[in-house]
Structure 1
Amino acid sequence: MPGVVLPAHQYHLPLIKQQLVSKNQNKNSNENIPYIPPEIIRIILNLLKDDKKTLAACALVNHTFNLHVTPILYHSVSFSFSYPFTFISFANTIIDESQRSQLIRHLDLSSFSIIGLQKSKKSMATIENIATPNLIIQILRYCTMLESFSVSESLESAITFEVLQVLAFECKNIKTLDFCGLASKQFNSALTSLTEVMGYVKIFWYYENGIPTYSFQKVNYEALPHLKRLSLHECPIISETSIITLLAHSPNLTHLDLGGCSISDLTLNFLANETNIPQTLTHLLLAKCKNISSENIAALVAECKRLEVLNLYGDRDYATAINEYDLITILTSPSAKKFKNLDIGSSHITPNVLHTIQENCSALRHLGISKARIQSITYLVNFLKAIPNLEYIDLTGVQCMTPLNVASLINNLQKDHSLHIIEMSESLVNKLGSIDKWKTNKNYSRRWYFSKQTYRPDRVHSRKLDMAEYGPEGMSKIFQYYSFDR
């Protein structure tokens, strides 16, 4: 086998050489160990990238293992601020130590959340005193190869204008900025100041044939051409002008999460007509955006050429839900054949919409159609039979779903059908028993699932884009909260 050195047999050696080998057997015992190519070691250790404890143990095996493990350990750094002093230890380790700091690609400061955890003001004060803006700036300046920065509401007081300036203008390798749940006036003020320094997009309002309309003056230069992924998930206080300015300065985005932001059709119009983003975007999340219209959502998606993930899930009322005509526009858009993950929950979903999905979305794996207006289980059975590669479906609040109909749906699926997770309402799931290897899954309290026994559904279909590309299992607790909370 190439690359593996096996020890020679002693009877092939001259007698004197045999004696030398015998004398030095203890000294040269490593010669009897087969040589493993470093590429193989790297592949094996990379399989452990999500198991930090095991990696830390591997680093102590020998110098070779340490050499390969260290870059993996430092590639993605995150903290549990339940033990905030680990952050100080980390800062002391990398500041003035360029070799380690340059290994860091993803810095995740989002792992601690006060949401739902009833943390005391004293705990928060401790965190704020440790993770100060000045310390974060120092870390960012030493992490010259940083590609991804994530932060949540627990540290929003530390995300000042000065920190944002360093992220925008000094971190030249940054590809991902993920701000989750930042809803303070201070953060809004800091972001407003940043967009002023970048250069605002000017918006001109006027009347055309008695109809109020608007136009945009483009920015003189683009400050963030290197940025690929941007999330302002559940940041409702940010002004729409600031969001539009950030988008104007980020022409090469592939992932955009504006879920829960206070945007209107102005933002959608700007994206569709004034940026190159429809040509580059593969992931778009507009979940729970209440002030955007059905018509303008469809117009934006129709301009997008590469979308694979589209999430329009919302708590819209009947009057503001995406109507059937606009849904069909979305489902016949250039991206429709590329959709892998689609959530149109709370929209006007009819049998005609299901038929359009069936005809156009051949790559679909995850589908959300909560509150669909489907009266007969037959429509759903025939629909699922026509999409044998579908793995997940959200049927929460679908009118025809009853315990009897769930059993009928499962029994009518082909044995080789890929479906293994059905999301439903809590009241319905609690009435179900085991059906042909399917069972109720109660691992996660905020959403309810009926799934095949071998699958964990609680990380499958998130409602926050995974900006770091580590998969839901690698998401921090704050991101999991926002992803799976209804």
Structure 2
Amino acid sequence: MASPTTATGTSPPSHSKPSLPRFTIPCGDHFHSRDSSPSSCDTPDGSRSSSRRRPSFGSIKEDADDGTFVLPFVCEATYEILRNLSWTLTTSPSPKEHCKPAHREMQPSPDFCCPCGGFLGWKQIRLGGKSLSRSYGDLRNIGNKQAKGWAWEDTETGRELMPPKAPAVVELSQPPPGTSALERLPPEVLDQIISNLAVDLPPNGYTPRNVDLISCLLTSHTLHAATLGVLYRNMTFPHSIIFSKALNHMSQYPALGTLVRRLDFSHFTSVGLGRTKQMNAEIQNLTSRTLLKCLDLLPNLKECLLQEHLEGDLSVEVIRKLFMGLPNLRAVDFCGCSTQAFSQVFTEALSAGPPLPMSLPSMKRLSLHECSTIPAPMFDQLLSRLINLTHLDLTHTQVNDSALAAIPETARISHLGLSRCTRLRSSALIEFLTTHPAVCESLVYLNLLNDPTRFRLLEEEDVSALLPKLPSTLRSMNLGGAKVTSEHVSLLIPLTKHLHELGLSSADLSVKDVNTFFAKDDNAAPSTLCYLDLAKVPQMTIGAIFNTSSCFLLSEQSYPLQVIEFSDKIITPLRERAKTQRVSVGWTVRDLGRRGWYVRDPASLPNEPLDDGYRYWKMGARWWGMRKIPMAVGDVGGIYGHYMFKK
């Protein structure tokens, strides 16, 4: 910028006080001189402007055409700096010369302008009789006091900061195919990540599932290989059409069959898509022949979950294939297969033809739940070969004492279901549970539920002999139907310190006896019971349950108790009570099938941690009081959910 000049082109006298530099503020074609009176409106050359055009007061001109230094809005600090500069200064004209009347008549001007129309500054604007405008210097002082400095100034030095630079945009180069961070993960880690996308249960009806896995198949070669293992690891078939498609695809690409680890028919139904059972049988999608062909393509199969809807398709060859033709098979489930046709096929598969091997080391989990027609000798022949057995569900079967005694001592049974086994003798059962190496130190789940109106397995003396010898590893025990009385309370209290589930249906216990399970004692460990089955307990009535002064069941003292199972005689009044009462007691009614529960509302105890019901020994189930032992870890549904929680 050119250096400022004076009006006369000469330096001021040496004896005179240096005048201020001329800072001009736009006012139409005039400029307001800072070193003169506020009403000066002359142009730099001392002449009047002939134009009345006036730009916006907010406009700022950096340079004038004649070289005059133009700075419209300056603060006091800037003014002091400029006054000390050794620039050539001009003498200020007199105010009278500045405010000479114009040649044409002047119109009335507002308070913030001089009579000639010049702008006097933002401070002169009056709103409602008050000067509300602020100059830059005033606003800066206010900012220093209230906000401790402007955002663009250093609060310590007051110097203006440079505006922040925009962050540099770094363009990441696309890695070559197959070398991205996700694809370079170890196969084990990648498998765990993709496994979270798998959906084991059919979402509903016949809608597609595992859509996310299909998308991963189309991403890259690495993800395609990793996703195939997850997609074919657990194969669930809700109906025969999906089974037929999977079988045809694996027949075309036999390598895919080596990836299958679980064959799950727990959700299978023979009726669907508007077809009857007879129509599906005529279509021949799922038959004993196609099922055997499928098993031949799965050399690495570990879990085969069958059920009553397939019992007509289980041939002798299929059963022998399961027990002798799959060396890696660890779990098999025949839940609900109770027809005479199945019994004949099962018996022929185990007794006729080539004999079974002396041991079946790979078989660890066996479920014959509700297989009530299998003859008793078949249990002796089969159980004696299971040297590594861990899960055994023989609910409602013809198993007898000799079959239990034939279980190898090398077995370590953690889950045992002997509910409604009418051919067992109580003395032999107690001897087996308390002395046999396969169960006496490893039991976690024990189900001895019976209907006392039809058959009572354990009498009063049997309960007294069994309870003191149960292992501390036990987490779930159902003694429903046994003759449990008040004399057994002292034997039950130690069990409540490690049991999470306790079934005492039809027990002869009073409210006072049940209260002892939750009594607070500084010298004793608190109760760990989360589920208590009190169905058909005679002294458990509506009046007794809601008498908080004498019953601890619904109080905070019973925590961590979450679920109480009652019979329909109590659940029905509780359901009606919930509809009519205005104040919630912190418990709600839930029922499913033939069973009903009174469930604690987690909101009633906000300070206690939320318990979602997960326990390792439930093998994927979340609800309490299961009556069927799972043979595979996973979500419970289909016919298995019916036998586990409804029946």
Shorter-normalised TM range = 0.7 to 0.9
With over 3 angstroms needed to count, the CA separation of the structure-2 counterparts of 1:182 and 1:480, relative to structure 1, is same
Aligned to 2:392: 256
d(CA) in 2 for partners of 1:190, 1:120: 25
Aligned to 1:362: 497
Which residue among 60, 69, 80 is the counterpart of 2:227?
69
Answering whether residue 480 of structure 2 is matched by residue 345 of structure 1, we say yes
d(CA) in 2 for partners of 1:30, 1:429: 62
Q: Deviations over 1:86-127 (max 9, x none)?
A: 110111122242332122111112323579xx9944355357
Amino acid corresponding to residue 268 of structure 2 in structure 1: F
Aligned to 1:401: 540
Q: Deviations over 1:374-411 (max 9, x none)?
A: 1x211112213475211111111111211232233456
Q: Deviations over 1:34-54 (max 9, x none)?
A: 768456554444344446677
Aligned to 2:597: 449
Report the 3-state secondary structure (helix = DSSP H, G, I; strand = E; otherwise coil) of the residue aligned with 1:338: coil
Aligned to 1:14: none
d(CA) in 2 for partners of 1:194, 1:140: 16
Aligned to 1:235: 371
Counterpart mapping for 1:193-204 below 5 A: 193-197=348-352
d(CA) in 1 for partners of 2:568, 2:622: 14
More off after superposition, 318-327 vs 453-462: 453-462
Contact preservation (8 Å) 1:384, 1:413: no
Amino acid corresponding to residue 498 of structure 2 in structure 1: A
With over 3 angstroms needed to count, the CA separation of the structure-2 counterparts of 1:92 and 1:412, relative to structure 1, is closer
Report the 3-state secondary structure (helix = DSSP H, G, I; strand = E; otherwise coil) of the residue aligned with 1:459: coil
Aligned to 1:105: 261
d(CA) in 2 for partners of 1:44, 1:54: 18
Amino acid corresponding to residue 564 of structure 2 in structure 1: I
With over 3 angstroms needed to count, the CA separation of the structure-2 counterparts of 1:317 and 1:466, relative to structure 1, is same
Report the 3-state secondary structure (helix = DSSP H, G, I; strand = E; otherwise coil) of the residue aligned with 2:497: coil
d(CA) in 1 for partners of 2:225, 2:313: 34
Larger Rg: 2
Which residue among 390, 410, 431 is the counterpart of 2:573?
431
TM-score (norm 2): 0.61
Q: Deviations over 1:296-315 (max 9, x none)?
A: 22111112221111101111
Aligned to 1:176: 331
Report the 3-state secondary structure (helix = DSSP H, G, I; strand = E; otherwise coil) of the residue aligned with 1:284: strand
With over 3 angstroms needed to count, the CA separation of the structure-2 counterparts of 1:169 and 1:42, relative to structure 1, is closer
With over 3 angstroms needed to count, the CA separation of the structure-2 counterparts of 1:359 and 1:123, relative to structure 1, is farther
Unaligned runs of 5+ in 2: 1-166, 202-207, 521-525, 579-583, 603-611, 614-620
Aligned to 1:292: 424
Report the 3-state secondary structure (helix = DSSP H, G, I; strand = E; otherwise coil) of the residue aligned with 1:483: helix
Which residue among 612, 615, 625 is the counterpart of 1:461?
625
Unaligned runs of 5+ in 1: 1-9, 12-17, 201-218
Q: Name the Cα RMSD after superposition.
A: 3.3
Contact preservation (8 Å) 1:344, 1:368: yes
d(CA) in 2 for partners of 1:247, 1:413: 46
Which residue among 520, 527, 530 is the counterpart of 1:388?
527
With over 3 angstroms needed to count, the CA separation of the structure-2 counterparts of 1:419 and 1:482, relative to structure 1, is same
Q: Deviations over 1:14-39 (max 9, x none)?
A: xxxx9xx86xx676699999768456
Report the 3-state secondary structure (helix = DSSP H, G, I; strand = E; otherwise coil) of the residue aligned with 2:268: coil
What is the Cα deviation at residue 136 of structure 1?
Answer: 1.1
Report the 3-state secondary structure (helix = DSSP H, G, I; strand = E; otherwise coil) of the residue aligned with 1:194: helix
Structure 1 runs (4+) greater than 6 angstroms displaced: 29-34, 455-458
Report the 3-state secondary structure (helix = DSSP H, G, I; strand = E; otherwise coil) of the residue aligned with 2:461: helix
What is the Cα deviation at residue 430 of structure 1?
Answer: 2.1
Amino acid corresponding to residue 46 of structure 1 in structure 2: S
With over 3 angstroms needed to count, the CA separation of the structure-2 counterparts of 1:447 and 1:356, relative to structure 1, is same
Contact preservation (8 Å) 1:393, 1:421: yes
Contact preservation (8 Å) 1:258, 1:286: yes
d(CA) in 2 for partners of 1:452, 1:123: 47
Counterpart mapping for 1:248-327 below 5 A: 248-263=384-399, 267-272=400-405, 274-277=406-409, 279-303=411-435, 304-305=439-440, 306-317=442-453, 320-327=456-463
Q: Deviations over 1:50-83 (max 9, x none)?
A: 46677431441423544443322322211112xx
More off after superposition, 100-109 vs 142-151: 100-109
Counterpart mapping for 1:23-172 below 5 A: 37=185, 41-50=190-199, 55-61=210-216, 62-63=219-220, 64-81=222-239, 84-113=240-269, 120-122=276-278, 125=281, 129-172=284-327
Report the 3-state secondary structure (helix = DSSP H, G, I; strand = E; otherwise coil) of the residue aligned with 1:332: helix
Aligned to 2:120: none
What is the Cα deviation at residue 476 of structure 1?
Answer: 3.6
More off after superposition, 297-306 vs 401-410: 401-410
With over 3 angstroms needed to count, the CA separation of the structure-2 counterparts of 1:119 and 1:290, relative to structure 1, is farther
What is the Cα deviation at residue 369 of structure 1?
Answer: 0.7
d(CA) in 2 for partners of 1:436, 1:150: 42
Aligned to 1:478: 639
Contact preservation (8 Å) 1:58, 1:65: no
Which residue among 561, 567, 576 is the counterpart of 1:419?
561
Contact preservation (8 Å) 1:422, 1:451: yes
Amino acid corresponding to residue 193 of structure 1 in structure 2: E
Contact preservation (8 Å) 1:227, 1:253: yes
With over 3 angstroms needed to count, the CA separation of the structure-2 counterparts of 1:378 and 1:237, relative to structure 1, is same
Contact preservation (8 Å) 1:283, 1:309: yes
Identity %: 24
Contact preservation (8 Å) 2:197, 2:212: no
Report the 3-state secondary structure (helix = DSSP H, G, I; strand = E; otherwise coil) of the residue aligned with 1:342: strand
Amino acid corresponding to residue 451 of structure 2 in structure 1: D
d(CA) in 1 for partners of 2:496, 2:557: 22
Contact preservation (8 Å) 1:350, 1:373: yes
What is the Cα deviation at residue 168 of structure 1?
Answer: 1.5
TM-score (norm 1): 0.80
With over 3 angstroms needed to count, the CA separation of the structure-2 counterparts of 1:40 and 1:438, relative to structure 1, is farther
Amino acid corresponding to residue 361 of structure 2 in structure 1: P
Q: Deviations over 1:240-299 (max 9, x none)?
A: 011211111222211111101123xxx323423x33258511111011112322222211
Report the 3-state secondary structure (helix = DSSP H, G, I; strand = E; otherwise coil) of the residue aligned with 1:102: helix
* Paired positions, count: 434
d(CA) in 1 for partners of 2:472, 2:358: 32
- Of structures 1 and 2, the one scoring higher in RCO (CA 8 A, sep 6+) is 1
Amino acid corresponding to residue 566 of structure 2 in structure 1: M
Amino acid corresponding to residue 89 of structure 1 in structure 2: K
Contact preservation (8 Å) 1:294, 1:320: no
With over 3 angstroms needed to count, the CA separation of the structure-2 counterparts of 1:358 and 1:138, relative to structure 1, is same
With over 3 angstroms needed to count, the CA separation of the structure-2 counterparts of 1:192 and 1:34, relative to structure 1, is closer
